[in-house]
């Protein structure tokens, strides 16, 4: 009887995990995807600007010149009771090291599922610096698991923070304006095809958006202008 009861619990737990994965997986194309995509871009601009004007993230400011790209997630939701999970939609932008121009954004999701006693929830803003070519190349696949072939580390926090932290991805997060040391080990990044297609046109891939620069949308103007302005301010790019 005990073995049967344990088996039922295990099956129930497996079903909960499967349900959570479906919740954070990329959604199918919907009629309002274009509006949703623009909202993500607009919020990503605000998130980036807030991080750039927060002196507790001076390491991020000073090392932006070493990043090959940025993953910006304006909102990553975490909630759970016994089963915990997190997920959010954001954008990836890549900087051309020769011209110093930023690419148009490609859409991605981030998600994770964990088992354990977790009660409550939170919403966080997250920026991940893409620090290596291996990390950037991995993002051109349909999905990549952090902590597998690519390493991820928490970025230094505090005014004048100094550190020799080294990883393929370096993350910075805050909740309600306060630093949040979110462990992203085991999280999965997915290409959000539905938003890429809706925003730029059917069949557009991250490579076409980020590398070939073959896709554009007038709605990215303010976001790219902010990236350019802050890059000039940090003397990453010429004025």
3 state SS of 74? strand
The pLDDT value given to residue 203: 82
- Summarize pLDDT for 106-141 with one digit per residue, the tens: 999 998 755 444 444 578 899 999 999 999 999 999
Residue 52 has pLDDT above 90, yes or no: yes
The pLDDT value given to residue 163: 75
The 3-state secondary structure of 132-188 reads CHHHHHHCCCCEEEECCCECEEECCCCCCCCCCCCCCEEEEEEECCEECCCCCCCCE
Q: What mean pLDDT is predicted for residues 94-103?
A: 91
Q: Which of 50, 63, 62, 58 is nearest to 174 (CA)?
A: 50
The pLDDT value given to residue 95: 94
The pLDDT value given to residue 91: 98
Q: What mean pLDDT is predicted for residues 23-30?
A: 49
Sorting pLDDT into bands at 50, 70 and 90, what band is 160?
low
Residue 6 has pLDDT above 90, yes or no: no
Phi-psi region at 21: left, alpha or beta (left = phi > 0; alpha = psi -120 to 50): alpha
The pLDDT value given to residue 116: 47
Percent of the chain scoring above 90 in pLDDT? 58
What does each C-alpha distance from 42 to 8, 59, 124, 224 come to in angstroms? Answer: 46, 24, 16, 10
Percent of the chain scoring above 70 in pLDDT? 79
- Summarize pLDDT for 168-227 with one digit per residue, the tens: 999 999 988 787 878 888 899 999 999 999 999 878 999 999 999 999 999 999 999 999
The pLDDT value given to residue 17: 42
Which of residues 94 and 120 earns the better pLDDT score? 94
Sorting pLDDT into bands at 50, 70 and 90, what band is 229?
very high
The pLDDT value given to residue 233: 82
Residue 167 has pLDDT above 80, yes or no: yes
């Amino acid at each position: 009887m005990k073995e049967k009861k344990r088996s039922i619990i295990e099956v129930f737990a497996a079903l909960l995990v499967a349900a959570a994965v479906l919740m954070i997986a990329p959604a199918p194309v919907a009629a309002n995807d274009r509006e949703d995509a623009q909202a993500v871009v607009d919020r990503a601009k605000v998130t980036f600007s807030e991080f750039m004007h927060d002196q507790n993230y001076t390491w991020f400011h000073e090392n932006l010149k070493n990043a090959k790209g940025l993953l910006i997630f304006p909102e990553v939701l975490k909630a759970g009771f016994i089963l915990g999970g997190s997920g959010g939609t954001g954008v990836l932008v890549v900087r051309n090291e020769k011209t110093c121009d930023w690419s148009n954004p490609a859409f991605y999701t981030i998600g994770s599922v964990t088992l354990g006693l977790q009660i409550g929830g939170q919403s966080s803003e997250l920026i991940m610096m893409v620090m290596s070519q291996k990390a950037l190349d991995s993002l051109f696949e349909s999905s990549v698991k952090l902590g597998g072939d690519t390493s991820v580390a928490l970025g230094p926090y505090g005014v004048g923070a100094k550190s020799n932290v080294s990883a393929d991805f370096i993350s910075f997060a805050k909740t309600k304006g306060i630093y949040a040391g979110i462990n992203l080990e085991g999280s999965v990044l997915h290409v959000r095809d539905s938003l890429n297609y809706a925003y730029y046109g059917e069949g557009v891939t991250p490579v076409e958006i980020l590398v070939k620069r073959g896709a554009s949308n007038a709605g990215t103007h303010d976001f790219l202008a902010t990236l350019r302005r802050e890059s000039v301010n940090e003397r990453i790019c010429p004025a």
